[in-house]
Structure 1
């Protein structure tokens, strides 16, 4: 490490698969180290979506130290651009208080954008433009968002999965706002964030144990009253099938069950499959991740001891 890097403030990334005890570890670290937590999770941002997102309770010790929780209504969008700028502002505040930002979550796309930086040319979301794009799909001017994207930005379309509605929609929005394809604007790289980042990864090395923990989390979610939570959200018109928050795993499945579109068993099966798919996607991201210290979730306290010792050494 050169002298310039030694002067940079420390930032910690704690990432990994779903159901890998990331939050458990982060909360314990927050009680010992001078850190504040920043959520890197596209589900925890939504207000009143608590049980299905496994959100920390407001009574928990670290809730007040956990940024980017409960910042949006289920009807509101939240782009990676917004996340990027929100996180930069929050990290600056934390560091000015003499604390260390610890970013914890499983949204690997968000983490990647923090490392690679976002082009300063990208505009903020525009609801009117999004509605215009959505209406074109509803009117069947195009088969899908991905099909529409191919007509204006082939490179981005080839890099985005055809089922990833959010990213396809965002790429289209950028094109109609700027008149330029996302693939071209992304070449205008911004400055690297001014911090020394240390990265830690957490998952169950045994895939079967990971899947068992996913299933246990789903059944625990149901025991805690997930169905009632969603019924109340629907009754109060706080959650609808076309809201962005419906993308949070479990909510669409429960919504469809409540509407009698699928059976209870199908709801559980679909939620389990979707969560497993998310874990596989996270592992695919992390398999090629650079400069990361890996830990098995079965040895969570080994990770705890290592990170505490590691951080203390960096602070000295």
Structure 2
């Protein structure tokens, strides 16, 4: 695990020199085909040598839920273990990890009319968070006040069932039947991470990010409300191509949104249980630390 732009994929690829692992992507943007530059997807050469499960599994017009991820990843984990290898999950979509580790409760399907009703009576995102705090204070602590989709979902569940997500998830009997080791690759500071985010965007723009989005834009069947186009970078570039914002505003909004994502990921990781922290500034040292912990835990499991 780790925040965006901290080198998770590179670290996981390096681990393949030491352990018989297969890589599973845990990233809600990398699932989409034809979205490579803006998602910092590993290049074709790296993927040829180091295949990743759950990459390029959906067309941008399709959606993909956390429930689908949970179902898919459990099947992949079984196949990898049966082949005598070790599943190594790598990515920064924290809600996916949570679903795998702790399961999903039997929540009702989304209801667009109820969502529209909630948006009608609650005028802005700050009010959404305040409303959730009154109904379900535990979820309000867990869900960031800018995470509109999850705020709406939590309120929607309450409107449909009369029960909070917290109440419904407490009845979850899901157990993941595997020993799990959790590691987070962490940056030395927020300032370092923000500089890396700026540098990565410069590289994306230089290597043809705009052209990549233009190909999606001119397909004719995609729009900004789709799950894929709402991904950070694609949404802002889409608005630029629609002449709704300037190039300067587009760059600013991508950086601002990516920093928000990184901050949110770091907040999740600070609260995460049973996690080992690795230094992303020294891969060699961090790999040694990783292998040392891994070997000790494996010996303990089989002793």
Bin the TM-score by the shorter chain.
0.7 to 0.9
2:123 to 126, 143, 149: 143
Match of 2:212 in 1: 229
3-state DSSP of counterpart to 2:229: helix
Cα distance in 2 for residues equivalent to 1:169 and 1:71: 27
1:121 corresponds to 2:106: yes
3-state DSSP of counterpart to 1:202: strand
Structure 1 pair 245–119 and aligned structure 2 pair: CA distance change class (3 A): closer
1:93 to 61, 72, 79: 79
- Give the Å deviation of 1:262: 1.2
Match of 1:282 in 2: 265
2:136 to 136, 155, 158: 155
Within 5 A, what are the aligned runs for 1:171-186?
A: 171=154, 174=157, 180-186=163-169
How far does the alpha carbon of each residue in 1:271-291 deviate from its partner, in whole angstroms, 9 at most, with x for none?
Answer: 111111111111111122222
TM-score by length of 2: 0.85
Match of 1:48 in 2: 34
- Give the Å deviation of 1:76: 2.8
**Moved runs in structure 1, 4+ residues, more than 6 A?**
none
1:111 to 87, 93, 97: 97
Match of 1:10 in 2: none
Greater RCO, 1 or 2 (C-alpha within 8 Å, sep 6+): 1
Residues 16 and 282 in structure 1, CA contact (< 8 A), matched pair in contact too: yes
Residues 119 and 187 in structure 1, CA contact (< 8 A), matched pair in contact too: no
TM-score by length of 1: 0.82
1:246 corresponds to 2:229: yes
1:188 corresponds to 2:174: no
Cα distance in 2 for residues equivalent to 1:137 and 1:171: 11
2:21 to 35, 43, 52: 35
How far does the alpha carbon of each residue in 1:197-231 deviate from its partner, in whole angstroms, 9 at most, with x for none?
Answer: 11111121132221111111101111110000111
Cα distance in 1 for residues equivalent to 2:152 and 2:49: 32
Structure 1 pair 217–180 and aligned structure 2 pair: CA distance change class (3 A): same
Q: Which runs of 5+ in 2 are unaligned?
A: none
3-state DSSP of counterpart to 1:247: coil
Match of 2:70 in 1: 84
Q: Which runs of 5+ in 1 are unaligned?
A: 1-14
Match of 1:257 in 2: 240
Cα distance in 2 for residues equivalent to 1:207 and 1:294: 16
Cα distance in 2 for residues equivalent to 1:192 and 1:251: 36
Q: How many residue pairs get matched?
A: 295
Structure 1 pair 281–63 and aligned structure 2 pair: CA distance change class (3 A): farther
